[in-house]
Amino acid sequence: MTVATPVSEQSSEVAAGPSLLHRILVRPEVGAALGALLVFVFFSVITERFLSPMGIANWLDDASTLGIMAVAVALLMIGGEFDLSAGVMTASTALVTALLAVHAGWNVWAALLVSLLLALAVGAFNGWLVMRTGMPSFIVTLGTFLALQGLNLGITRLVTGTVQVAGIRSAPGYESAGSVFASTLKIGGTSVQASVIWWIVLTAIASFVLTRTKFGNWIFAVGGSLPSARAVGVPADRTKIILFMTTAFAGWVVGSCMILRFTSVQANQGIGLELHYIIAAVVGGCLLTGGFGSAVGAAIGALIFGMARQGIVFARWDSDWFMLFLGVLLLAAVLVNNRFQKRAERVRR
């Protein structure tokens, strides 16, 4: 934890901005919020059950695990890097937890701790290798992605003889661990998944760190211009390594939510999701080039994704066209977003 500094880059700029309207418009997440509102209203109008308590719980659930990852990925992207191993990481951590708890007979909490340590180690390795070699993180984490994918399948088949690990429900410590990661909360007659709470809490923490701490300034600095950041004494290596460890941590949270909720995990889970995280972060106002974006924006990006994905099903459209609908909706949300982002960029850069 770094010491909080009340005067961040943003607030000093905000103070310079003249009107309230202008101050709102330069926020990176405003466009995303408008996009989300558009998608929300659209499906609320054209479908019956989208706005019912069960319907809301359904799309929040879908958005939550994506959102947990998208927020961490957004921090990393603001810091100027990508993590392609993030999707597979959710399966790796779940598999390690499940294998230790089911096949080695460990307490679930101990298994969770070990999978957390492994995740953080992989994250640190990613960060260290990127900083050490100067290679693009796109390449480094692509390597980790492939390696983890192979390990997931290879080890699972080696230990279990099949491609799924199931049966964690009867492992010691399942009840208490499960209540943290996979319980449901009754709100107004419908049950909300624990992952939704995790999503909100982690978004709040990420947002706080990004906008109110010195570390947050370092993230913007290393993503904006690495040489200048180094020149003014920002510990760039440490910052980036911590960011890679943050996405790995988020992968562990999502992996833990999945294994404890679904009580089984299959070896090929999570492949391809890394792109969804990046899309959510971009829809939420992060720049692919780094140095700009927000955690709340990424969370809203995930919300758009979740609402669109479940809304299409609520609308009962033919699933053959599902990806087309999703693509068009996302493009529409991005276009709305883009108008506002352009304004914001002009002010920022």
Partner 1 sequence: MSIQRVRRLVPWIAAAAVLAACSGPGSDEPAKTESPGGQGKLESVAVVTHGSAGDAFWNVVKNGAEQAGKDLDVRVDYNSSGDPGQQAKLIDNAVAQGVGGLVVSMANPDALRSSIEKAVAAGIPVITINSGENDSAKYGAVTHVGQSETLAGTNAGKRLADAGKKKLLCVIHEAGNIGANQRCDGATKAFGNGSTLQVDINNPTDAQARIKGAVEADRSIDAVLTLNSQVAARAVDAVKEASSAATIATFDLNSDVVEAIKAGKLLFAVDQQQYEQGYLPVVLLKLYQTNRNTLGGGAPVQTGPAFVDKNNVEAVAALVSRGTR
- Which residue, 22 or 214, has its beta carbon nearer to partner 1? 214
Smallest distance from partner 1 to CB 179, Å: 6
- Helix, strand, coil percent content, the chain, rounded in steps of 5: 75, 5, 20
Query: Binding to partner 1 by residue 151, rule CB under 8 A?
Result: no
Q: How far is CA 204 from the centre of its chain?
A: 13
- Which residue, 127 or 178, has its beta carbon nearer to partner 1? 178
Query: Binding to partner 1 by residue 146, rule CB under 8 A?
Result: no
How many CA atoms lie within 13 Å of 101's alpha carbon, on the beta-carbon side? 34
Cβ atoms of 122 and 188 within 8 Å: the answer is: no
Query: Binding to partner 1 by residue 182, rule CB under 8 A?
Result: yes
| 11 φ/ψ angles, rounded to the nearest 5 degrees | -65, -30
Angstrom distance (rounded) from CA 58 to CA 215: 35
- Which residue, 13 or 48, has its beta carbon nearer to partner 1? 48
What are 149's two structure tokens?
């994918």
Smallest distance from partner 1 to CB 342, Å: 34
Query: Binding to partner 1 by residue 323, rule CB under 8 A?
Result: yes
Query: Binding to partner 1 by residue 137, rule CB under 8 A?
Result: no
Query: Binding to partner 1 by residue 2, rule CB under 8 A?
Result: no
Cβ atoms of 123 and 245 within 8 Å: the answer is: yes
Would you call 21 exposed, middle or buried from its count of C-beta atoms within 10 A (0-12, 13-18, 19+)?
exposed
Query: Binding to partner 1 by residue 166, rule CB under 8 A?
Result: yes
Give residues in contact with partner 1 (CB under 8 A). 1, 48-49, 52-55, 57-58, 61-62, 65, 153, 162-164, 166-167, 169, 174-175, 177-186, 189-191, 194, 197, 201, 205, 258, 260-264, 266-269, 310, 313-314, 316, 319-320, 322-323
